[in-house]
Amino acid sequence: MNEQLNDAIIDETNCISDRKSHHPDKTKHNLTARLNRIEGQVRGIKNLIEKDAYCDDVLNQISAIQSALNSVGRLLLEAHMKSCVVERLQEGDTEVIDEMMNTFKKLMK
């Protein structure tokens, strides 16, 4: 089951989708590198809190992480639109438009 979770996408209802992305290695590497940096930043915030760092310093780091996550989201969204969405539309699957509208709503919160 753990492998299935690693290979699947969980949507807003926590249902597991077995659809896969097919991004170029360069895109995957870029996204992974950014996420690794974000992971390090999150650990840094944890350390700041454990060391009773000044709240404003912690909040500034949280803001930086949110910005970095938004950047990853924009990159992934662009890649998704140019590959997965175009491919599904070419196959006649217009349900992808509703899916994208729901995704946009989540990203714009």
Domains of the chain: 25-107 (1.20.58.1000)
pLDDT for residue 3 is more than 50: no
Helix (H/G/I), strand (E/B), else coil: 8: coil
* C-alpha atoms less than 13 angstroms from C-alpha of 80 in its C-beta half-sphere: 15
97 to 18, 72, 84, 103, 106: CA distances (angstroms): 19, 21, 11, 10, 14
Q: What is the pLDDT of residues 63-87, one digit of tens each?
A: 999 999 999 999 999 999 999 999 9
Beta bridge pairs of residue 16: 10
- Measured CA to CA, the distance from residue 93 to residue 78 in angstroms comes to 19
Lowest mean pLDDT segment, chosen from 20-24, 34-38, 66-70 = 20-24
List of E strands, the chain: 9-10, 16-17
